[in-house]
Chains A and B, each alone.
Chain A
Amino acid sequence: MAGASTLYLRSSTPPRRATAESPVARAVLIGIALVFLGLFLFLPLVVVFQEAFSKGAAAFFQAFQDPFTRSAIWLTLLVAVIVVPLNTLFGLAAAWSLTRFRFRGRSFLVTLIDLPLWVSPVIGGLIYMLVFGARGWFGPWLRENDIRIIFAVPGIVLATVFVTFPFVARGLIPLMEAQGLKEEEAALTLGANGWQIFRRVTLPKIKWGLLYGVILCNARAMGEFGAVSVVSGHIRGKTTTMPLQIEILYNEYQFAAAFAVASLLALLAIVTLFLKTYAEWRADRQLREASL
Chain B
Amino acid sequence: MSITISNVSKSFSRYPALNGVSIGIATGELIALLGPSGSGKTTLLRLIAGLEFPDNGGTVSFGERDVTSLSAYKRRAGFVFQHYALFAHMSVFENIAFAFRVLPRRKRPPESAIRERVDTLLDAVQLAGYEKRLPSQLSGGQRQRVAFARALAIEPEVLLLDEPFGALDAKVRKDLRRWLREFHHRIQLTTIFVTHDQDEAFEVADRVVLIDQGVLQQSGTPHAVRSNPANDFVRDFLDLPHK
Contacts A186-B79, A190-B153; is A200 near B85 (CB within 8 Å)?
no
> Does A170 belong to the interface (CB within 8 Å)?
no
> Does A188 belong to the interface (CB within 8 Å)?
yes
B94's nearest neighbour on chain A, judged by CB, is: A200
B135 CB to nearest chain A CB (Å): 7
Q: Which of A5-13, A79-87, A191-199 contacts B (4 or more CB under 8 A)?
A: A191-199
Asked if B81 and A186 make an inter-chain contact with CB atoms under 8 angstroms apart, the answer reads: yes
Asked if B73 and A191 make an inter-chain contact with CB atoms under 8 angstroms apart, the answer reads: yes
Contacts A289-B136, A292-B136; is A192 near B83 (CB within 8 Å)?
no
Within 8 Å CB of A183, what residues of B? Answer: 85-88
> Does B176 belong to the interface (CB within 8 Å)?
no
**Range, interface on chain A:** 20 to 34
A204–B72 CA distance with the chains assembled, in angstroms: 22
Asked if B88 and A189 make an inter-chain contact with CB atoms under 8 angstroms apart, the answer reads: no
Within 8 Å CB of B151, what residues of A? Answer: 189-190
B104 CB to nearest chain A CB (Å): 10
A102's nearest neighbour on chain B, judged by CB, is: B13
Within 8 Å CB of B83, what residues of A? Answer: 182
Within 8 Å CB of B102, what residues of A? Answer: 187, 190-193, 196, 200
Asked if A189 and B89 make an inter-chain contact with CB atoms under 8 angstroms apart, the answer reads: no
> Does B99 belong to the interface (CB within 8 Å)?
yes
A179's nearest neighbour on chain B, judged by CB, is: B88
Asked if A185 and B135 make an inter-chain contact with CB atoms under 8 angstroms apart, the answer reads: no
Report B60-83 CB contacts with A as 1/0, cut-off 8 Å. 000000000001111111110101
A159 CB to nearest chain B CB (Å): 37
A196–B99 CA distance with the chains assembled, in angstroms: 11
A288–B86 CA distance with the chains assembled, in angstroms: 14
Asked if A189 and B73 make an inter-chain contact with CB atoms under 8 angstroms apart, the answer reads: yes
A192–B98 CA distance with the chains assembled, in angstroms: 9
Within 8 Å CB of A196, what residues of B? Answer: 102
A190–B154 CA distance with the chains assembled, in angstroms: 7
A187–B87 CA distance with the chains assembled, in angstroms: 9
Asked if A204 and B89 make an inter-chain contact with CB atoms under 8 angstroms apart, the answer reads: yes
Asked if B51 and A289 make an inter-chain contact with CB atoms under 8 angstroms apart, the answer reads: no
Within 8 Å CB of B88, what residues of A? Answer: 183, 205, 286, 289-290, 292
Partner of A182, one of B85, B99, B103: B85
Partner of B73, one of A193, A286, A290: A193
Within 8 Å CB of A189, what residues of B? Answer: 49-51, 72-73, 75-79, 151, 154
Q: Which residues in chain B, 15-72, are within 8 Å of chain A measured between CB atoms?
A: 49-51, 71-72
Q: Which residues in chain A, 192-219, are within 8 Å of chain B measured between CB atoms?
A: 192-193, 196, 200-201, 204-205
A192's nearest neighbour on chain B, judged by CB, is: B102
A200–B87 CA distance with the chains assembled, in angstroms: 9
Report A265-292 CB contacts with B as 1/0, cut-off 8 Å. 0000000000000000000001001101
A292's nearest neighbour on chain B, judged by CB, is: B136
Report A130-174 CB contacts with B as 1/0, cut-off 8 Å. 000000000000000000000000000000000000000000000
A290's nearest neighbour on chain B, judged by CB, is: B88
A188–B72 CA distance with the chains assembled, in angstroms: 6
A193–B153 CA distance with the chains assembled, in angstroms: 17
Within 8 Å CB of A290, what residues of B? Answer: 88
Contacts A183-B85, A292-B136; is A200 near B71 (CB within 8 Å)?
no
> Does B145 belong to the interface (CB within 8 Å)?
no
Asked if A190 and B99 make an inter-chain contact with CB atoms under 8 angstroms apart, the answer reads: yes
A183–B147 CA distance with the chains assembled, in angstroms: 11
Asked if A201 and B73 make an inter-chain contact with CB atoms under 8 angstroms apart, the answer reads: no
A32 CB to nearest chain B CB (Å): 41
B71's nearest neighbour on chain A, judged by CB, is: A188
Within 8 Å CB of A192, what residues of B? Answer: 73, 98, 102
Within 8 Å CB of A187, what residues of B? Answer: 87, 98, 102
Asked if B136 and A188 make an inter-chain contact with CB atoms under 8 angstroms apart, the answer reads: no
A286–B136 CA distance with the chains assembled, in angstroms: 11
Asked if B73 and A200 make an inter-chain contact with CB atoms under 8 angstroms apart, the answer reads: no
> Does B150 belong to the interface (CB within 8 Å)?
yes
Within 8 Å CB of B50, what residues of A? Answer: 189
Asked if A186 and B154 make an inter-chain contact with CB atoms under 8 angstroms apart, the answer reads: no
What would be 16 A-B contacts, judged by CB atoms less than 8 Å apart? A182-B85, A185-B51, A185-B81, A186-B150, A187-B87, A187-B98, A188-B71, A189-B77, A190-B102, A191-B102, A192-B73, A192-B98, A193-B102, A200-B101, A205-B89, A289-B136
Which 5 residue pairs are nearest across A and B when measured between Cβ atoms? Answer: A182-B85, A189-B79, A192-B102, A186-B85, A190-B99
11 further A-B contacts with Cβ under 8 Å, apart from A186-B81, A200-B101, are A182-B85, A183-B85, A183-B86, A183-B87, A187-B102, A190-B98, A190-B153, A191-B102, A191-B103, A286-B88, A290-B88
